[in-house]
Structure 1
Amino acid sequence: MVPIIDVIARLREIEADGSRADRRLATTVLGDLDFASKASIVDLAARAGVSEPTVTRFCRTLGADGIREFKFRLAQALAVGGVFLNPRAEGTEGRRRIVDTIADGAILAIETLRASADPERIEAAAQRLAGARSVLAFGSGGSSSIAASELQHRLFRLGLAIAAYSDGELQRMTASAAGPETTVVAFSISGHVRPIIDAVTIARQYGASTIVVTAPGSPLADAGEILVPFLVGEDEGLLLRPSPTRYALIGCVDMLAIATAEALGPQVLERLRRIKQSINTLKHNDPRLPIGD
């Protein structure tokens, strides 16, 4: 039997297509998840109007040995995704609600980064990047993979040979090919993404410098050589808003990029001039526009 990972989704399936007794139980559980996660078999059977053996069979249908394991799985589901089952209001009312929600989240994330950033660690990381023959940027999922890609966009124009990878297998492979002249930069908000931890560990084993932008005290923080602490929390209540944490993560990328540019010195200006010249001859020529579009 395939293990049931999402007990809430399975309950909804049973509520729609299960036997009459199972539908009543599923409706009872979904109607009051907190009660169901704590109720005895007697109380759950009574509220659903079924027998206790029916509750036991119902638990087995959900992949649990009995009521105790079922309640444990239900409690786990509530702990992980309960906020999505009982959402709160999405911020202020009126036409500016979406605009203000996004802007306020981005501003708060950047201000949190400003207060928590460690200039000395950023400078230490920049020195390693400036002295690297090649750079590998690792990220996984949403914000961290965007940060890795953005670091590639920031550093190639400074003349650094950099490649970004979000695939765990490629992270391991490129880490295995790294050496003392390679610098790895790994991004993870949680610091618990196993493929990235493994890749950093592998690269460090082969002598590469390893910079980790992640939560202090996390497994990734322990695996890296230079830690750039990243501590920007989430407001889990605003469910439809994309994570504002990524604004802070991009801010951290920009801090690393400008510190690296300063470590490399005036030589980077010629490369930036070339890029600007090349781009502007092929499109609308406006010197006020950024390098690239």
Structure 2
Amino acid sequence: MELLGRIRAERSELPEALRRVADLILSNPGEAARSTIVDLAERSGTSTATITRFCRALGFGGYAELRVAIATEQGRVAQQTWETDIGQEILPDDNLERVLGVVSGNDIRLIQETAAQLDLATVEKVAAAISQAGRVLLFGVSSSAAVASEMEYRLQRIRIPTWSRSDAHSALTDAALLGERDVAIGISHSGRTREVIEVLAEAGSHGAITVAVTSHPRSPLAEVAELVLTTASRETTFRSDGFAAIHSQLLVLDVVYVSIAQRSYERTRQAFDLTLRAVTGHRLPGGDA
């Protein structure tokens, strides 16, 4: 996971003093990389001991390692010239060319950040669990519900018994019927959606393997899940963090889906052949679509 994306994702879960350090670094990473530990402590209103705690919370041995990591990441960012439009405001009189550049650039960057931080060992575990599951339950609300529905379609297409729910009552009753060979996947950008947390907790209480898809690895949803897949998100004009996370969520689940399909290659091919033949009569001649 890229460092700044990780700091941004974990910021809200940090203690207040560490959060001030995170905010200072995120506001100007380049300056933070040039600052001494004393400078950073003074500017964040903390102490050198707090800076050291912040470094260790991120897995670094000390401040020197953190500075190198920030500087290295800033160097990579500087090489990506399209990055200059990322996160900029879209104004009412901006033309569509600029709108397209900001939106597409932001989505590209978020997908890259998600790919960089994705724990492939966890992907393997999730894919293996789903491949052997008797039932798979996907649950999300609002924009996450659309992501759950898309994953449901893909898994059903390769003969994985899957249901997605966007209603909490239906999801809770389904979760109560899951067992040890089943999988429940909760999708929530914030990781704080009460209904999603409740559904995953209910499924886990009956022995199901629980998976969280969230941008916040220290969130309450992540805490109740056995396996956590993290996504990147960044708010831009007219698109809140939740909306912006959709592409990242789809990427993560698509990697899981392809890994499952690989595990049952022949069965997947047969399923595709059967389903394509089933809808052939509904396609007009003369095209591939």
TM-score range, shorter chain: 0.5 to 0.7
What residue number does 1:203 align with? 203
What residue number does 1:280 align with? 280
- SS of alignment partner, residue 243 of structure 2: coil
C-alpha contact (below 8 Å) 1:150/1:253 kept by paired residues: no
- Structure 2 residue identity aligned to 1:278: A
- Structure 2 residue identity aligned to 1:96: E
Aligned 1:189-200 pairs, distance under 5 A:
189-200=189-200
| Cα pair distance change 1:250/1:280, threshold 3 Å | same
- Counterpart CA distance in 1 for 2:112 and 2:255 is 14
- Structure 2 residue identity aligned to 1:223: V
Q: Alignment RMSD, CA only?
A: 2.3
| Cα pair distance change 1:134/1:90, threshold 3 Å | same
What residue number does 2:264 align with? 264
Q: 1:239 aligned to 2:234?
A: no
| Cα pair distance change 1:154/1:276, threshold 3 Å | same
Q: How far off is 1:285 after superposition? A: 4.8
Larger radius of gyration: 1
Kindly tell me the number of residue pairs found equivalent between the two proteins: 200
- How far does the alpha carbon of each residue in 1:34-93 deviate from its partner, in whole angstroms, 9 at most, with x for none? xxxxxxxxxxxxxxxxxxxxxxxxxxxxxxxxxxxxxxxxxxxxxxxxxxxxx9553994
Q: 1:96 aligned to 2:97?
A: yes
Q: How far off is 1:95 after superposition? A: 3.9
- Structure 1 residue identity aligned to 2:218: G
What residue number does 2:161 align with? 161
| Cα pair distance change 1:285/1:224, threshold 3 Å | farther
| Cα pair distance change 1:106/1:92, threshold 3 Å | farther
C-alpha contact (below 8 Å) 2:178/2:208 kept by paired residues: yes
- SS of alignment partner, residue 174 of structure 2: helix
- Counterpart CA distance in 2 for 1:198 and 1:285 is 49
- Counterpart CA distance in 1 for 2:197 and 2:119 is 22
| Cα pair distance change 1:98/1:89, threshold 3 Å | closer
Q: How far off is 1:96 after superposition? A: 1.0
- Counterpart CA distance in 2 for 1:251 and 1:266 is 24
- Counterpart CA distance in 2 for 1:245 and 1:225 is 22
| Cα pair distance change 1:148/1:93, threshold 3 Å | same
- Counterpart CA distance in 1 for 2:93 and 2:120 is 36
- Counterpart CA distance in 2 for 1:140 and 1:266 is 34
Aligned residues with identical type, % of pairs:
21
C-alpha contact (below 8 Å) 2:233/2:244 kept by paired residues: no
Aligned 1:57-76 pairs, distance under 5 A:
none
| Cα pair distance change 1:194/1:125, threshold 3 Å | same
C-alpha contact (below 8 Å) 2:114/2:230 kept by paired residues: no
What residue number does 2:136 align with? 135
What residue number does 1:175 align with? 175
TM-score (norm: length of structure 1): 0.63
- How far does the alpha carbon of each residue in 1:100-155 deviate from its partner, in whole angstroms, 9 at most, with x for none? 2332222122111121111111111000000001110011121x111111110110
| Cα pair distance change 1:95/1:181, threshold 3 Å | closer
C-alpha contact (below 8 Å) 2:186/2:212 kept by paired residues: yes
- Structure 1 residue identity aligned to 2:265: G
- How far does the alpha carbon of each residue in 1:248-268 deviate from its partner, in whole angstroms, 9 at most, with x for none? 111112111101111223211
- SS of alignment partner, residue 90 of structure 1: coil
C-alpha contact (below 8 Å) 1:182/1:209 kept by paired residues: yes
Q: How far off is 1:286 after superposition? A: 6.6
Which structure shows the bigger proportion of residues in helix conformation? 2
- How far does the alpha carbon of each residue in 1:226-245 deviate from its partner, in whole angstroms, 9 at most, with x for none? 11122x12234x13689332
Gaps of 5+ in 2: 1-87
- Structure 2 residue identity aligned to 1:187: I
- SS of alignment partner, residue 217 of structure 1: coil
TM-score (norm: length of structure 2): 0.64
C-alpha contact (below 8 Å) 1:102/1:244 kept by paired residues: no
Q: How far off is 1:177 after superposition? A: 1.4
- SS of alignment partner, residue 243 of structure 1: helix
| Cα pair distance change 1:217/1:286, threshold 3 Å | farther
